[in-house]
Amino acid sequence: IEGVHYIADHLRAEDADFSVKQDWKYVAMVIDRIFLWMFIIVCLLGTVGLFLPPWLAGMI
């Protein structure tokens, strides 16, 4: 009987670890998406900042 309890406890612990791992994967995915949008915005602003002054001065 002790062996069965040990195996059951071990399986419960594995399930809990898996749940925590899945939660952290979701958090990482959300943070990754936030940084992707920040990167896109910075790239677009940099491109606009690079081409806007000559365009306003009439060089392009």
Mean pLDDT of the chain: 93
Q: Is residue 54 predicted with pLDDT exceeding 90?
A: no
CA 4 to each of CA 7, 8, 10, 25: distance values in angstroms, whole numbers, following the listed order = 5, 6, 10, 31
Phi, psi of 13 (to 5 degrees): -65, -40
Q: Is residue 49 predicted with pLDDT exceeding 70?
A: yes
Of 57, 55, 25, 13, which is closest to residue 5 (Cα–Cα)? 13
pLDDT in the model for residue 1: 87
pLDDT in the model for residue 23: 97
Q: Is residue 8 predicted with pLDDT exceeding 80?
A: yes
The reply to whether the predicted model has a pTM over 0.75 is no
pLDDT in the model for residue 39: 99
